[in-house]
Amino acid sequence: MEKSLAEKEPSITILAADPLSAAACHPAMPSPKSPATRRTASTAGIRSTKPAARKRAQIESADDGDNFYRDLVWTLRNGVLAVTLDGNVAVMNEVAYRILGLKPSLEDVGRPFTYVLRDLPDVSRIVAGAFDLSHLPNRAELRLKSTGKVIGYTLSQVRDRRGRLTGATLFFKDLTRVEQLEERERLRDRLAALGEMAAAIAHEVKNPLAGIEVMAGILRRQLTDSEDAQAILGDIIKEAKMANAIVLEVLDFVRPIRLQVERISLADVIRDAVSMAETHVPRGGVAVRVSLPEDLARIQGDPHQLRQIFINLLTNAFEAMGGRGVVDIVATSVAEEDPTTSGDTQTGPMVQVEVTDDGPGVPPDVMDRIFSPFFTTKPQGSGLGLAIVRKIVDAHDGRIDVSARQVGGTSFRVTLPVSGDHELFRERGD
Protein backbone atom coordinates (compact mmCIF):
# COMPACT_ATOMS: atom_id res chain seq x y z
CA MET A 1 0.00 0.00 0.00
CA GLU A 2 2.84 2.41 0.85
CA LYS A 3 4.61 1.49 -2.37
CA SER A 4 1.53 2.24 -4.38
CA LEU A 5 1.18 5.67 -2.80
CA ALA A 6 4.84 6.42 -3.34
CA GLU A 7 4.55 5.53 -6.98
CA LYS A 8 1.50 7.72 -7.53
CA GLU A 9 2.58 10.84 -5.66
CA PRO A 10 5.50 11.86 -7.89
CA SER A 11 3.46 11.40 -11.02
CA ILE A 12 0.76 13.77 -9.77
CA THR A 13 3.26 16.42 -8.73
CA ILE A 14 5.22 16.29 -11.95
CA LEU A 15 2.09 16.37 -14.12
CA ALA A 16 0.94 19.61 -12.55
CA ALA A 17 4.34 21.21 -12.96
CA ASP A 18 5.73 19.86 -16.21
CA PRO A 19 4.07 17.21 -18.38
CA LEU A 20 7.25 16.66 -20.35
CA SER A 21 9.22 15.74 -17.22
CA ALA A 22 6.45 13.43 -16.16
CA ALA A 23 6.63 11.70 -19.49
CA ALA A 24 10.35 11.22 -19.13
CA CYS A 25 10.05 9.62 -15.69
CA HIS A 26 7.17 7.42 -16.72
CA PRO A 27 7.65 6.06 -20.22
CA ALA A 28 4.20 4.53 -20.08
CA MET A 29 2.58 7.98 -19.76
CA PRO A 30 1.16 9.28 -23.05
CA SER A 31 3.08 11.95 -24.91
CA PRO A 32 1.96 15.59 -24.32
CA LYS A 33 1.12 15.75 -28.00
CA SER A 34 -1.39 12.93 -27.69
CA PRO A 35 -5.10 13.65 -27.09
CA ALA A 36 -5.04 11.95 -23.72
CA THR A 37 -2.22 14.17 -22.48
CA ARG A 38 -3.88 17.34 -23.76
CA ARG A 39 -7.11 16.45 -21.99
CA THR A 40 -5.26 15.65 -18.75
CA ALA A 41 -3.20 18.83 -18.86
CA SER A 42 -6.24 20.93 -19.67
CA THR A 43 -8.18 19.42 -16.82
CA ALA A 44 -5.36 20.05 -14.40
CA GLY A 45 -5.10 23.68 -15.51
CA ILE A 46 -8.81 24.27 -14.99
CA ARG A 47 -8.67 22.64 -11.59
CA SER A 48 -5.80 24.85 -10.53
CA THR A 49 -7.62 28.08 -11.57
CA LYS A 50 -11.22 26.93 -11.37
CA PRO A 51 -12.78 29.65 -9.09
CA ALA A 52 -11.21 32.65 -10.86
CA ALA A 53 -11.80 31.30 -14.39
CA ARG A 54 -15.38 30.44 -13.65
CA LYS A 55 -16.06 33.89 -12.20
CA ARG A 56 -14.40 35.59 -15.18
CA ALA A 57 -16.39 33.44 -17.61
CA GLN A 58 -19.60 34.28 -15.81
CA ILE A 59 -18.85 38.00 -15.98
CA GLU A 60 -17.98 37.84 -19.67
CA SER A 61 -21.08 35.76 -20.37
CA ALA A 62 -23.25 38.24 -18.49
CA ASP A 63 -21.72 41.16 -20.41
CA ASP A 64 -22.26 39.39 -23.73
CA GLY A 65 -25.85 38.62 -22.75
CA ASP A 66 -26.53 42.21 -21.75
CA ASN A 67 -25.03 43.49 -25.00
CA PHE A 68 -27.03 41.00 -27.03
CA TYR A 69 -30.37 41.85 -25.44
CA ARG A 70 -29.64 45.56 -25.60
CA ASP A 71 -28.81 45.27 -29.31
CA LEU A 72 -31.86 43.07 -29.83
CA VAL A 73 -34.25 45.62 -28.34
CA TRP A 74 -32.54 48.58 -29.96
CA THR A 75 -32.73 47.09 -33.47
CA LEU A 76 -36.27 45.74 -33.30
CA ARG A 77 -38.52 46.92 -36.09
CA ASN A 78 -41.21 47.85 -33.56
CA GLY A 79 -41.18 50.49 -30.88
CA VAL A 80 -40.50 49.14 -27.39
CA LEU A 81 -41.17 50.96 -24.13
CA ALA A 82 -40.64 49.09 -20.86
CA VAL A 83 -41.30 50.52 -17.40
CA THR A 84 -40.63 49.15 -13.95
CA LEU A 85 -43.21 48.64 -11.25
CA ASP A 86 -42.38 52.00 -9.69
CA GLY A 87 -43.15 53.72 -13.01
CA ASN A 88 -39.63 54.44 -14.27
CA VAL A 89 -38.48 53.87 -17.84
CA ALA A 90 -36.31 50.76 -18.15
CA VAL A 91 -36.05 50.46 -21.95
CA MET A 92 -36.99 52.71 -24.85
CA ASN A 93 -35.54 51.97 -28.26
CA GLU A 94 -34.82 54.29 -31.18
CA VAL A 95 -37.91 53.29 -33.16
CA ALA A 96 -40.12 54.19 -30.20
CA TYR A 97 -38.62 57.66 -30.06
CA ARG A 98 -39.08 58.13 -33.80
CA ILE A 99 -42.70 56.97 -33.91
CA LEU A 100 -43.69 59.06 -30.90
CA GLY A 101 -41.89 62.12 -32.27
CA LEU A 102 -39.55 62.41 -29.29
CA LYS A 103 -35.85 63.22 -29.20
CA PRO A 104 -33.74 60.22 -28.08
CA SER A 105 -32.03 60.71 -24.72
CA LEU A 106 -30.05 58.24 -22.62
CA GLU A 107 -31.11 60.20 -19.54
CA ASP A 108 -34.70 59.00 -19.98
CA VAL A 109 -33.78 55.62 -18.53
CA GLY A 110 -34.68 55.75 -14.87
CA ARG A 111 -37.02 58.69 -15.24
CA PRO A 112 -40.79 58.37 -14.61
CA PHE A 113 -42.59 57.45 -17.82
CA THR A 114 -45.12 60.20 -17.08
CA TYR A 115 -42.29 62.72 -17.45
CA VAL A 116 -40.84 61.18 -20.61
CA LEU A 117 -44.34 60.99 -22.16
CA ARG A 118 -45.52 64.34 -20.81
CA ASP A 119 -46.37 65.57 -24.32
CA LEU A 120 -48.20 62.31 -25.14
CA PRO A 121 -50.91 61.94 -22.49
CA ASP A 122 -52.82 59.39 -24.57
CA VAL A 123 -49.78 57.05 -24.63
CA SER A 124 -49.07 57.71 -20.97
CA ARG A 125 -52.60 56.62 -20.05
CA ILE A 126 -52.14 53.35 -21.96
CA VAL A 127 -48.91 52.53 -20.09
CA ALA A 128 -50.47 53.41 -16.74
CA GLY A 129 -53.32 51.01 -17.50
CA ALA A 130 -50.91 48.07 -17.47
CA PHE A 131 -51.01 48.07 -13.66
CA ASP A 132 -54.76 48.64 -13.35
CA LEU A 133 -56.53 46.74 -16.14
CA SER A 134 -57.45 43.08 -15.83
CA HIS A 135 -57.50 42.57 -19.61
CA LEU A 136 -54.68 44.32 -21.43
CA PRO A 137 -55.17 45.52 -25.03
CA ASN A 138 -53.68 43.35 -27.75
CA ARG A 139 -53.23 44.64 -31.30
CA ALA A 140 -55.23 47.76 -30.54
CA GLU A 141 -54.94 51.03 -32.49
CA LEU A 142 -54.52 54.63 -31.41
CA ARG A 143 -54.27 57.88 -33.34
CA LEU A 144 -51.72 60.17 -31.71
CA LYS A 145 -53.19 63.62 -31.18
CA SER A 146 -49.78 65.29 -31.30
CA THR A 147 -48.69 63.98 -34.71
CA GLY A 148 -51.80 62.41 -36.24
CA LYS A 149 -49.97 59.10 -36.67
CA VAL A 150 -51.82 55.83 -36.17
CA ILE A 151 -50.05 53.23 -34.06
CA GLY A 152 -50.92 49.62 -33.41
CA TYR A 153 -49.90 48.48 -29.94
CA THR A 154 -49.85 45.58 -27.51
CA LEU A 155 -49.53 46.07 -23.76
CA SER A 156 -48.02 43.33 -21.60
CA GLN A 157 -47.10 42.83 -17.98
CA VAL A 158 -43.63 41.69 -16.86
CA ARG A 159 -43.49 39.10 -14.07
CA ASP A 160 -40.59 37.33 -12.35
CA ARG A 161 -40.20 33.57 -11.88
CA ARG A 162 -42.46 33.65 -8.85
CA GLY A 163 -45.22 35.38 -10.79
CA ARG A 164 -44.81 38.73 -9.09
CA LEU A 165 -45.52 41.85 -11.16
CA THR A 166 -42.30 43.77 -11.86
CA GLY A 167 -43.20 46.07 -14.75
CA ALA A 168 -44.92 46.50 -18.10
CA THR A 169 -43.98 46.71 -21.77
CA LEU A 170 -45.61 48.52 -24.67
CA PHE A 171 -44.87 47.19 -28.16
CA PHE A 172 -46.12 49.38 -30.99
CA LYS A 173 -45.74 50.03 -34.71
CA ASP A 174 -46.50 52.97 -36.98
CA LEU A 175 -49.60 52.01 -38.96
CA THR A 176 -50.09 55.40 -40.63
CA ARG A 177 -49.15 54.10 -44.06
CA VAL A 178 -51.28 50.99 -43.58
CA GLU A 179 -54.19 53.15 -42.48
CA GLN A 180 -53.80 55.29 -45.58
CA LEU A 181 -53.85 52.22 -47.82
CA GLU A 182 -56.90 50.86 -46.03
CA GLU A 183 -58.65 54.18 -46.34
CA ARG A 184 -57.79 54.17 -50.03
CA GLU A 185 -59.39 50.75 -50.38
CA ARG A 186 -62.48 51.87 -48.46
CA LEU A 187 -62.73 54.95 -50.64
CA ARG A 188 -62.40 52.78 -53.74
CA ASP A 189 -65.26 50.58 -52.55
CA ARG A 190 -67.43 53.61 -51.85
CA LEU A 191 -66.61 55.02 -55.26
CA ALA A 192 -67.55 51.77 -56.94
CA ALA A 193 -70.97 51.81 -55.31
CA LEU A 194 -71.37 55.51 -56.00
CA GLY A 195 -70.27 55.03 -59.57
CA GLU A 196 -72.96 52.48 -60.23
CA MET A 197 -75.57 54.81 -58.82
CA ALA A 198 -74.22 57.86 -60.66
CA ALA A 199 -74.09 56.04 -63.97
CA ALA A 200 -77.69 54.95 -63.55
CA ILE A 201 -79.02 58.44 -62.83
CA ALA A 202 -76.69 60.49 -65.02
CA HIS A 203 -78.70 60.11 -68.21
CA GLU A 204 -81.96 60.44 -66.32
CA VAL A 205 -80.86 63.78 -64.85
CA LYS A 206 -78.77 65.30 -67.62
CA ASN A 207 -81.41 65.06 -70.32
CA PRO A 208 -84.17 66.85 -68.35
CA LEU A 209 -81.69 69.52 -67.24
CA ALA A 210 -80.68 70.15 -70.82
CA GLY A 211 -84.35 70.38 -71.82
CA ILE A 212 -85.11 72.85 -69.02
CA GLU A 213 -82.18 75.05 -70.01
CA VAL A 214 -83.16 75.06 -73.70
CA MET A 215 -86.84 75.79 -73.06
CA ALA A 216 -86.00 78.54 -70.56
CA GLY A 217 -83.74 80.12 -73.16
CA ILE A 218 -86.52 80.04 -75.77
CA LEU A 219 -88.99 81.68 -73.37
CA ARG A 220 -86.43 84.29 -72.43
CA ARG A 221 -86.01 85.32 -76.05
CA GLN A 222 -89.79 85.50 -76.53
CA LEU A 223 -90.60 87.43 -73.36
CA THR A 224 -88.25 90.30 -73.86
CA ASP A 225 -90.81 92.86 -72.69
CA SER A 226 -91.24 91.42 -69.19
CA GLU A 227 -88.44 92.19 -66.78
CA ASP A 228 -89.85 89.84 -64.16
CA ALA A 229 -90.00 86.97 -66.64
CA GLN A 230 -86.46 87.72 -67.78
CA ALA A 231 -85.19 87.57 -64.18
CA ILE A 232 -87.04 84.35 -63.37
CA LEU A 233 -85.96 82.62 -66.57
CA GLY A 234 -82.39 83.77 -66.00
CA ASP A 235 -82.44 82.13 -62.56
CA ILE A 236 -83.85 78.94 -64.06
CA ILE A 237 -81.07 78.77 -66.64
CA LYS A 238 -78.44 79.51 -63.98
CA GLU A 239 -79.70 76.80 -61.64
CA ALA A 240 -79.98 74.28 -64.48
CA LYS A 241 -76.39 74.92 -65.48
CA MET A 242 -75.26 74.56 -61.85
CA ALA A 243 -77.13 71.26 -61.47
CA ASN A 244 -75.63 70.00 -64.71
CA ALA A 245 -72.15 70.98 -63.55
CA ILE A 246 -72.65 69.03 -60.31
CA VAL A 247 -73.73 65.95 -62.25
CA LEU A 248 -70.64 66.21 -64.44
CA GLU A 249 -68.44 66.65 -61.36
CA VAL A 250 -69.94 63.57 -59.74
CA LEU A 251 -69.29 61.58 -62.89
CA ASP A 252 -65.68 62.79 -62.98
CA PHE A 253 -65.24 61.80 -59.35
CA VAL A 254 -66.57 58.26 -59.64
CA ARG A 255 -65.04 57.55 -63.03
CA PRO A 256 -61.80 55.46 -62.86
CA ILE A 257 -58.68 57.54 -63.40
CA ARG A 258 -56.78 56.67 -66.56
CA LEU A 259 -53.31 58.10 -66.05
CA GLN A 260 -51.18 58.90 -69.06
CA VAL A 261 -47.82 58.55 -67.34
CA GLU A 262 -44.73 60.27 -68.62
CA ARG A 263 -41.61 61.90 -67.24
CA ILE A 264 -42.65 65.49 -66.58
CA SER A 265 -41.48 68.68 -64.97
CA LEU A 266 -43.65 69.38 -61.94
CA ALA A 267 -42.50 73.02 -62.03
CA ASP A 268 -44.12 73.47 -65.46
CA VAL A 269 -47.30 71.82 -64.20
CA ILE A 270 -47.50 74.24 -61.27
CA ARG A 271 -46.92 77.30 -63.45
CA ASP A 272 -49.70 76.18 -65.80
CA ALA A 273 -52.03 75.60 -62.84
CA VAL A 274 -51.45 79.13 -61.54
CA SER A 275 -52.44 80.60 -64.90
CA MET A 276 -55.47 78.33 -65.34
CA ALA A 277 -56.79 78.81 -61.79
CA GLU A 278 -57.50 82.48 -62.56
CA THR A 279 -59.87 81.43 -65.35
CA HIS A 280 -61.93 79.40 -62.86
CA VAL A 281 -62.14 81.87 -59.98
CA PRO A 282 -61.08 85.55 -60.07
CA ARG A 283 -58.28 85.98 -57.59
CA GLY A 284 -58.75 89.73 -57.20
CA GLY A 285 -55.96 91.16 -55.08
CA VAL A 286 -54.57 87.80 -53.99
CA ALA A 287 -50.82 87.58 -54.63
CA VAL A 288 -49.37 84.22 -55.65
CA ARG A 289 -45.70 83.65 -54.82
CA VAL A 290 -44.05 80.63 -56.42
CA SER A 291 -40.73 79.13 -55.34
CA LEU A 292 -39.54 76.38 -57.68
CA PRO A 293 -35.87 75.33 -57.56
CA GLU A 294 -34.19 74.86 -60.91
CA ASP A 295 -32.89 71.42 -59.95
CA LEU A 296 -36.33 70.09 -58.97
CA ALA A 297 -36.47 66.44 -59.98
CA ARG A 298 -38.69 65.39 -62.86
CA ILE A 299 -41.32 62.83 -61.85
CA GLN A 300 -43.47 60.15 -63.42
CA GLY A 301 -47.06 61.29 -63.63
CA ASP A 302 -50.00 62.49 -65.67
CA PRO A 303 -49.52 66.23 -66.32
CA HIS A 304 -53.24 66.85 -66.86
CA GLN A 305 -54.29 65.16 -63.63
CA LEU A 306 -51.48 66.76 -61.60
CA ARG A 307 -52.41 70.16 -63.01
CA GLN A 308 -55.95 69.58 -61.74
CA ILE A 309 -54.62 69.07 -58.21
CA PHE A 310 -53.07 72.52 -57.99
CA ILE A 311 -55.91 74.23 -59.87
CA ASN A 312 -58.37 72.93 -57.27
CA LEU A 313 -56.13 73.92 -54.35
CA LEU A 314 -55.65 77.42 -55.76
CA THR A 315 -59.31 78.00 -56.56
CA ASN A 316 -60.22 76.93 -53.03
CA ALA A 317 -57.70 79.43 -51.66
CA PHE A 318 -58.97 82.25 -53.90
CA GLU A 319 -62.56 81.62 -52.82
CA ALA A 320 -61.66 81.46 -49.12
CA MET A 321 -59.50 84.59 -49.10
CA GLY A 322 -62.12 86.93 -50.52
CA GLY A 323 -59.89 88.79 -52.94
CA ARG A 324 -56.95 89.70 -50.70
CA GLY A 325 -53.99 87.95 -49.13
CA VAL A 326 -51.03 85.82 -50.22
CA VAL A 327 -50.74 82.26 -51.49
CA ASP A 328 -47.29 80.66 -51.34
CA ILE A 329 -46.35 77.65 -53.45
CA VAL A 330 -43.03 76.08 -52.45
CA ALA A 331 -41.59 72.93 -54.03
CA THR A 332 -38.67 70.95 -52.61
CA SER A 333 -36.96 67.62 -53.19
CA VAL A 334 -36.98 65.33 -50.17
CA ALA A 335 -35.69 61.87 -49.32
CA GLU A 336 -38.55 59.72 -48.11
CA GLU A 337 -37.95 57.64 -44.98
CA ASP A 338 -39.97 54.83 -43.49
CA PRO A 339 -40.98 56.28 -40.09
CA THR A 340 -40.46 52.94 -38.34
CA THR A 341 -37.26 51.90 -40.17
CA SER A 342 -39.08 48.62 -40.64
CA GLY A 343 -38.74 48.41 -44.39
CA ASP A 344 -42.46 47.80 -44.82
CA THR A 345 -42.81 50.68 -47.23
CA GLN A 346 -40.62 51.57 -50.15
CA THR A 347 -38.30 54.51 -49.81
CA GLY A 348 -36.99 56.81 -52.48
CA PRO A 349 -36.70 60.40 -53.62
CA MET A 350 -39.87 62.47 -53.39
CA VAL A 351 -41.02 65.92 -54.47
CA GLN A 352 -43.00 67.92 -51.94
CA VAL A 353 -45.19 70.92 -52.79
CA GLU A 354 -46.77 73.13 -50.14
CA VAL A 355 -49.65 75.42 -51.03
CA THR A 356 -50.15 77.85 -48.14
CA ASP A 357 -52.56 80.75 -47.76
CA ASP A 358 -53.20 83.34 -45.04
CA GLY A 359 -56.99 83.16 -45.27
CA PRO A 360 -59.48 82.37 -42.51
CA GLY A 361 -58.32 78.75 -42.27
CA VAL A 362 -60.20 75.49 -41.71
CA PRO A 363 -62.06 74.94 -38.41
CA PRO A 364 -60.38 72.17 -36.33
CA ASP A 365 -63.62 70.21 -36.03
CA VAL A 366 -63.86 69.69 -39.80
CA MET A 367 -60.16 69.12 -40.53
CA ASP A 368 -60.57 65.32 -40.59
CA ARG A 369 -63.50 65.50 -43.02
CA ILE A 370 -62.08 67.95 -45.49
CA PHE A 371 -61.27 65.28 -48.11
CA SER A 372 -64.57 63.41 -47.72
CA PRO A 373 -66.85 63.36 -50.79
CA PHE A 374 -69.75 65.81 -50.70
CA PHE A 375 -68.48 67.56 -47.57
CA THR A 376 -68.19 71.32 -48.00
CA THR A 377 -68.36 74.52 -45.99
CA LYS A 378 -69.29 76.59 -49.04
CA PRO A 379 -72.93 77.56 -49.61
CA GLN A 380 -72.78 76.60 -53.29
CA GLY A 381 -70.04 73.95 -53.19
CA SER A 382 -70.44 70.32 -54.21
CA GLY A 383 -67.84 69.00 -51.79
CA LEU A 384 -65.97 67.12 -54.52
CA GLY A 385 -63.03 69.39 -55.28
CA LEU A 386 -60.69 68.20 -52.53
CA ALA A 387 -62.02 64.65 -52.80
CA ILE A 388 -60.93 64.62 -56.45
CA VAL A 389 -57.55 66.06 -55.42
CA ARG A 390 -57.00 63.23 -52.97
CA LYS A 391 -58.09 60.65 -55.53
CA ILE A 392 -55.53 61.93 -58.05
CA VAL A 393 -52.77 62.02 -55.42
CA ASP A 394 -53.58 58.45 -54.37
CA ALA A 395 -53.48 57.32 -57.98
CA HIS A 396 -49.92 58.67 -58.18
CA ASP A 397 -49.00 56.79 -54.98
CA GLY A 398 -48.52 60.09 -53.18
CA ARG A 399 -49.81 61.72 -50.01
CA ILE A 400 -51.67 64.92 -49.23
CA ASP A 401 -51.85 66.46 -45.77
CA VAL A 402 -53.62 69.55 -44.49
CA SER A 403 -52.79 71.60 -41.42
CA ALA A 404 -53.78 74.92 -39.89
CA ARG A 405 -51.12 77.61 -39.69
CA GLN A 406 -50.39 79.17 -36.31
CA VAL A 407 -50.59 82.66 -37.83
CA GLY A 408 -53.86 81.88 -39.62
CA GLY A 409 -54.63 80.22 -42.90
CA THR A 410 -54.29 76.71 -44.28
CA SER A 411 -51.39 74.68 -45.61
CA PHE A 412 -51.76 71.75 -48.03
CA ARG A 413 -48.70 69.55 -48.51
CA VAL A 414 -48.60 67.26 -51.57
CA THR A 415 -45.85 64.61 -51.62
CA LEU A 416 -45.26 62.69 -54.85
CA PRO A 417 -42.69 59.98 -55.63
CA VAL A 418 -40.17 60.66 -58.36
CA SER A 419 -40.72 57.11 -59.63
CA GLY A 420 -44.11 55.67 -58.75
CA ASP A 421 -45.50 52.17 -58.77
CA HIS A 422 -46.67 51.48 -62.34
CA GLU A 423 -49.36 49.10 -61.08
CA LEU A 424 -51.12 52.06 -59.54
CA PHE A 425 -51.28 53.77 -62.90
CA ARG A 426 -53.50 51.11 -64.39
CA GLU A 427 -57.20 51.61 -64.63
CA ARG A 428 -58.98 50.23 -61.60
CA GLY A 429 -60.69 46.98 -62.42
CA ASP A 430 -58.28 45.96 -65.20
Domain boundaries defined on the chain: 2-48, 70-174, 176-255, 259-430
Between 15 and 38, the more confident residue is 38
- Closest residue by Cα to residue 249 from 205, 184, 187, 293: 205
pLDDT at 11 over 70: no
pLDDT at 376 over 80: no
pLDDT at 408 over 80: no
The helix (run of H) or strand (run of E) holding residue 291 is strand 285-291
| Cβ neighbours of 285 (radius 10 Å) | 10
pLDDT at 265 over 60: yes
Residue 63 has what pLDDT?
A: 57
pLDDT at 41 over 80: no
Distance CA 354, CA 401 (A): 9
Cβ burial, residue 12 (10 Å; 0-12/13-18/19+): exposed
pTM of the model: 0.53
pLDDT at 398 over 60: yes
CATH architecture of 70-174: 2-Layer Sandwich (3.30)
Is residue 331 within 8 Å of 416, Cβ to Cβ? no
**Start-to-end C-alpha separation, the chain:** 99
Q: List Cβ neighbours of 159 (8 Å cut-off, separation of 6 or more).
A: 165, 166
Q: What is the pLDDT of residues 93-135, one digit of tens each?
A: 988 998 998 988 889 999 999 999 999 999 999 999 888 887 8
Cβ burial, residue 416 (10 Å; 0-12/13-18/19+): buried
Residue type, 418: V
Residue 211 has what pLDDT?
A: 85
Query: For the chain, what is the radius of gyration of the CA atoms?
Result: 37
Residue type, 102: L
Residue 58 has what pLDDT?
A: 55
Task: Give the fold, CATH level 3, of 176-255.
Answer: Helix Hairpins (1.10.287)
Give how far Cα 179 sits from Cα of 41, 151, 403, Å. Answer: 66, 9, 19
Beta bridge partners of 186: none
Distance CA 48, CA 156 (A): 47
Helices 227-254/176-222 angle, 10° precision: 150
Residue 86 has what pLDDT?
A: 92
Which of 171-185, 194-208, 293-307 is the least confident region? 194-208
pLDDT at 223 over 80: yes
pLDDT at 353 over 90: yes
Between 168 and 16, the more confident residue is 168
CATH superfamily of 259-430: Histidine kinase-like ATPase, C-terminal domain (3.30.565.10)
